[in-house]
Amino acid sequence: MKIKAVLFYAILFKMSFVAAESNEELALRARKAYEKGDYAGSIESYEKILGKGYESVVLYYNLGNAYFRNVNIPSAILFYEKALKLEPNHPDIRHNLLIANSRITDKVEFIPELFYKRWWKSILNSFSLDFAAAGLIVLLTLSLLCAAIFLSSRHIGIRKTAFWSGISLFILFFILIVAARQKEQLLKQHKEAIVFTPTVTVKSSPDDASANLFVIHEGLKVTLLDQIGEWQEIKIANGSIGWLRSGDIRKI
């Protein structure tokens, strides 16, 4: 009985120690495992960090690399996409994602976006929410300063300059608010997903008896349009639309 008690408390102590591991310790263990070629062990440690509700560009990127080395391409693509969602212009993430996408079966041609959509998307991708918050403070301060100069100055030229400068700054302030709100919504929304079933037959409606439209494979990114029960309406890059089961995909 004493031996059993000692074993019980030893196991309990070990469980408490594991639960108390910090993210830094888990990240260090994951990095060391990755360097030794133990990619499954690296993934396990990184996933524990994720399980605590923590997320970051570095975490997603490292997980993507570990999954890629472990020859799990759909998971690698998923975490590269998650990292890219937080930092859209990161060159290393884009490069690794391009390599991972070259390993999947489906090579879907993209429909070119309208120029103004590409322009607006490039603006959203050019800044972080922290930068937007700082920018709003600066623009508001400068706008109020221009207003103060306009109200206090008696020189016509200075008043005109302050007036039009204030108007321009206020317009930029408004545009940045709209852009920041939309970027925040994009970060919170899960409108894209990665296919995780090796082969999926996309249906014309949310019903197994409906017509088969086309076949897609694991690793492909899809856009989510609607959901009815366990069925998800999706669109792929060439514009084709259909239905598949929610269990076939994982949201980005």
Per residue in 133-173, pLDDT (tens digit) is 999 999 999 999 999 999 998 899 999 999 999 999 999 99
pLDDT at position 15 over 60: no
Q: What CA–CA distance (Å, rounded) separates 232 from 246?
A: 5
pLDDT at residue number 27 = 93
Q: What CA–CA distance (Å, rounded) separates 192 from 232?
A: 11
How far CA 117 is from CA of 86, 113, 123, 210, 212, in Å, comes to: 19, 6, 10, 34, 32
Q: What CA–CA distance (Å, rounded) separates 89 from 122?
A: 9
Average pLDDT (180-200) is 89
pLDDT at position 20 over 90: no
Ranges of each domain in the chain: 2-101, 115-186, 192-251
Q: What is the mean pLDDT of the chain?
A: 89
pLDDT, tens digit (0-9, with 9 covering 90-100), for 30-51:
999 999 999 999 999 999 999 9
Pairing of strands 241-245, 249-251: unpaired
Fold for the domain defined by 192-251: SH3 type barrels. (2.30.30)
**Residue 147 Cα to chain centre, angstroms:** 40
Tokens of 167: 């108007």
Supply angle C-alpha 86, 39, 37, rounded to 5.
Answer: 125
Share above pLDDT 70 across residues of the chain, in percent, rounded to a whole number:
92
CATH superfamily of 2-101: Tetratricopeptide repeat domain (1.25.40.10)
pLDDT category at 14 given cuts 50, 70, 90 is: low
pLDDT at residue number 59 = 96
